[in-house]
Amino acid sequence: MLRRDRHIRMQVLQLVDACLFALSFWLAYELRADVRVIYHFRLDPFPNNQGAVFDKLVWIYPVLIFLSPLVLEAQGFYSRSILSSRRVKYWQLLKGCLIMVLCLILALFFSKLLVSNVARWIPVWFGGISFFLVVAREEFVSAVFQSKMANAQGKRHFV
């Protein structure tokens, strides 16, 4: 029973992390297209058809959603205990995010025929944003599991 509960919890966390990776790609694109960010970092502005460029990048979402749980699982991110040290889980997450950035760079490189105007900052910001979003999710989950209510609920009661 406990093994099944842990497996279901792991699948839910994988789905949430996949959605967080997709959200971080969208946030990275929106940050790169924002006029204030362009001015602050002295970047080249996007051309006027920035929506058309993003419409051509929508195909990357299924790739990100499919690959992100696999990469994190390969790093051992989901197979560790819930109360493991932060250093271990953040190192696994950092390696997974770096691999996802490399996968995104390769996917954008091979899609040069579809999209000719992709900013180089998008994959870098994608990696950072995805790392911090998953860290926030991980801290929230660990805070819930360490609360008194979760401890009382997680114990098996024998009659």
Residue 144: pLDDT band with limits 50, 70, 90:
confident
What token pair was written down for 10? 């792991």
Model confidence at 136: pLDDT above 90 = yes
Q: Above pLDDT 70, what percent of the chain? A: 74
Cβ partners under 8 Å of residue 150, min gap 6: 144
pTM above 0.95, yes or no: no
Residue 85: pLDDT band with limits 50, 70, 90:
confident
Cβ partners under 8 Å of residue 32, min gap 6: 38, 43, 46, 119, 121, 122, 125
Contact present, 34 and 122 (Cβ < 8 Å):
no
Q: What value does the mean pLDDT take over residues 90-118?
A: 83
Model confidence pLDDT, tens digit, residues 34-67: 767 667 666 666 655 555 567 777 888 888 999 9
Q: What value does the mean pLDDT take over residues 93-114?
A: 86
Helices (H), the chain: 2-33, 35-41, 50-56, 60-74, 86-110, 121-146, 148-154
